[in-house]
């Protein structure tokens, strides 16, 4: 070979290497997996015999299709908005028959409304996908993807994925405080109960890591006592319910501490704490500053604060969902979800510990 053909060979090799580097990133955004409760369920419960469901009007009234999907929102929920941020299609519910073939590579949503850290949380909803089962489905998912792209590619897809875990609120609302003198409240004083559920949560996260998770956003609970459902039951003048606020104040710092410990043991920032409490409190304490007319009255519901019972066809329904912080007695509106996700993406260490999602994306794109 003369010099010029060697030069051309090198040029071609260089070009191939460049294309080789670019192509895998261009062909697919990172996969996204979602675990947890109604704050992040996007339709799994539609396929189950349960009372915890959001598959009828007016749920979904502002969703692109204007149909109820199973999301506990007037429109998009937090996972949808995170998918948007990472440049991905929204994940399908794991139980959806449409989740097959190439669509599996986008990720999956395993969340199920009503569940908690504990197996006895949400028993009144009968047939829901408890967290141990969600993790079992994640394992099954990986077997299905392996059959499609092979075990090594599957491992890589899972290791490089972004994961969202939202758990814990129901262990108070739909367990400890569900009825006066509940079994768990007779068994544990509140501080001991929190220590117990944090220790159980830790096991769940260790298992998730064992299944290949390497980047997991873990949301703490919101201000549980400030949701319209609790105001309706406990509030005289709109003040947040004391006991549930006490629960959140105990749970959230211990969660952050547990995540920090896990990261130290793993020698890597696998678990990222999202301070959902402060993210909510911003607009709950000053709704007008965020363009809301109220943060106390739900858009859809009945009774005081529209906080009694479920959001149904028979409920009061506000005409403009964008000016309500709460869509139903428990769940934020799409606009409030957008404020939450904005903090997840760009928030300071007050909101995201040890770093926000834009930092994670920048870091992970370098490996």
Ligand X SMILES: *[C@@H]1O[C@H](CO)[C@@H](O)[C@H](O)[C@H]1NC(C)=O
Question: CA-to-CA distance for 115 and 325, rounded, in angstroms?
Answer: 23
Is residue 190 within the footprint of ligand X (CB under 6 A)? no
Q: Measured from the CB of residue 218, what is the shortest distance to ligand X in angstroms?
A: 16
Nearest to 165 by CA among 50, 326, 274: 274
Is residue 219 within the footprint of ligand X (CB under 6 A)? no
- The residue range among 46-54, 179-187, 274-282, 353-361 that interacts with ligand X, by the rule CB under 6 A, is 353-361
Is residue 132 within the footprint of ligand X (CB under 6 A)? yes
Is residue 312 within the footprint of ligand X (CB under 6 A)? no
Instruction: Read off the DSSP letter of residue 241.
Output: P
Residue from 64, 87, 348, 363 binding ligand X (CB under 6 A): 348
Q: Does residue 107 contact residue 40 with C-beta atoms inside 8 Å?
A: no
Nearer to ligand X, 51 or 348 (CB): 348
Q: Measured from the CB of residue 362, what is the shortest distance to ligand X in angstroms?
A: 9
Tokens in use for 135?
């993790």
H/E segment holding residue 130: none
Q: Does residue 219 contact residue 169 with C-beta atoms inside 8 Å?
A: no
Q: Measured from the CB of residue 350, what is the shortest distance to ligand X in angstroms?
A: 9
- The residue range among 69-77, 188-196, 261-269, 347-355 that interacts with ligand X, by the rule CB under 6 A, is 347-355
Conformation bin of residue 307: beta by default, left when phi > 0, alpha when psi is -120 to 50: alpha
Is residue 195 within the footprint of ligand X (CB under 6 A)? no
Site for ligand X in 59-78 (CB under 6 A): none
Q: Measured from the CB of residue 48, what is the shortest distance to ligand X in angstroms?
A: 17
Question: CA-to-CA distance for 60 and 81, rounded, in angstroms?
Answer: 15
Catalytic residue set? 38, 328, 331
Q: Going by DSSP bridges, is the β-strand pair 107-109/32-36 parallel, antiparallel, or unpaired?
A: parallel
Q: Measured from the CB of residue 141, what is the shortest distance to ligand X in angstroms?
A: 18
Is residue 346 within the footprint of ligand X (CB under 6 A)? yes
Is residue 170 within the footprint of ligand X (CB under 6 A)? no
- The residue range among 8-16, 38-46, 83-91, 354-362 that interacts with ligand X, by the rule CB under 6 A, is 354-362
Nearer to ligand X, 68 or 360 (CB): 360
Q: Measured from the CB of residue 326, what is the shortest distance to ligand X in angstroms?
A: 27
Q: Measured from the CB of residue 131, what is the shortest distance to ligand X in angstroms?
A: 8
Site for ligand X in 91-130 (CB under 6 A): 119
- The residue range among 53-61, 263-271, 304-312, 348-356 that interacts with ligand X, by the rule CB under 6 A, is 348-356
Place of tokens 């609790």: 230
Residue from 200, 278, 282, 322 binding ligand X (CB under 6 A): 200
Question: CA-to-CA distance for 251 and 246, rounded, in angstroms?
Answer: 9
Q: Measured from the CB of residue 359, what is the shortest distance to ligand X in angstroms?
A: 4
> Long-range contact list for 132-138, CB < 8 A, 24+ apart?
132/204, 134/35, 134/110, 135/35, 135/110, 135/204, 135/207, 135/208, 135/211, 137/94, 137/110, 138/33, 138/35, 138/108, 138/110, 138/208, 138/211
H/E segment holding residue 165: strand 162-166
Nearer to ligand X, 333 or 356 (CB): 356
Q: Going by DSSP bridges, is the β-strand pair 216-219/162-166 parallel, antiparallel, or unpaired?
A: parallel
The H helix count followed by the E strand count for the chain is 12, 8
Is residue 356 within the footprint of ligand X (CB under 6 A)? yes
Instruction: Read off the DSSP letter of residue 91.
Output: P
Is residue 187 within the footprint of ligand X (CB under 6 A)? no
Nearer to ligand X, 268 or 316 (CB): 268
Question: What is the arrangement of strands in the sheet containing 216-219, beginning at the earlier edge strand?
Answer: 107-109, 32-36, 162-166, 216-219, 271-274, 352-353
H/E segment holding residue 362: helix 357-365
Residue from 198, 281, 323, 355 binding ligand X (CB under 6 A): 355
Is residue 363 within the footprint of ligand X (CB under 6 A)? no
Nearer to ligand X, 115 or 240 (CB): 115
- Residues in contact with ligand X by CB under 6 A are 119, 132, 200, 346, 348-349, 355-356, 358-359
């Amino acid at each position: 070979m003369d010099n010029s053909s060697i030069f051309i060979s090198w040029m071609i090799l260089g070009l191939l290497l460049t294309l080789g580097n670019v192509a895998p990133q261009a062909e697919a955004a990172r996969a996204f997996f979602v675990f947890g409760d109604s704050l992040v369920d996007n339709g799994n419960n539609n396929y189950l015999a349960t009372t915890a469901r959001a598959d009828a009007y007016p749920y979904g009234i502002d969703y692109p299709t204007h149909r109820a999907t199973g999301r506990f929102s007037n429109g998009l929920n937090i996972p949808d908005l995170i998918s948007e941020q990472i440049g991905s299609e929204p994940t399908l519910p794991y139980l959806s028959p449409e989740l097959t073939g190439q669509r599996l590579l986008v990720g999956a949503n395993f969340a199920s409304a009503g569940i908690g850290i504990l197996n006895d949380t949400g028993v009144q909803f009968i047939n829901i996908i408890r967290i141990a089962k969600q993790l079992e489905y994640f394992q099954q998912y990986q077997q299905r993807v392996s059959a499609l792209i092979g075990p090594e590619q599957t491992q890589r897809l899972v290791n490089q994925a972004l994961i969202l875990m939202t758990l814990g609120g129901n262990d108070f609302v739909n367990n400890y405080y569900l009825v006066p003198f509940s079994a768990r409240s007779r068994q544990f004083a509140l501080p001991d109960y929190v220590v117990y559920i944090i220790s159980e949560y830790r096991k769940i996260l260790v298992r998730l890591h064992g299944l290949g998770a390497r980047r997991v956003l873990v949301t703490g609970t919101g201000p549980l006592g400030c949701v319209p459902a609790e105001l309706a039951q406990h509030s005289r003048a709109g003040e947040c319910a004391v006991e549930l606020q006490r629960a959140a104040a105990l749970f959230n710092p211990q969660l952050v501490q547990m995540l920090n410990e896990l990261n130290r043991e793993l020698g890597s920032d696998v678990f990222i704490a999202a301070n959902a409490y402060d993210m909510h409190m911003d607009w709950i304490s000053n709704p007008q500053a965020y363009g809301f007319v109220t943060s106390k009255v739900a858009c859809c519901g009945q009774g005081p604060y529209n906080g009694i019972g479920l959001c149904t066809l028979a409920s009061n329904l506000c005409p403009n969902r964008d000016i309500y912080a709460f869509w139903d007695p428990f769940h934020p509106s799409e606009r409030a979800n957008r404020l939450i996700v904005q903090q997840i993406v760009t928030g300071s260490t007050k909101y995201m510990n040890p770093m926000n999602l834009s930092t994670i994306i920048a870091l992970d794109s370098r490996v």
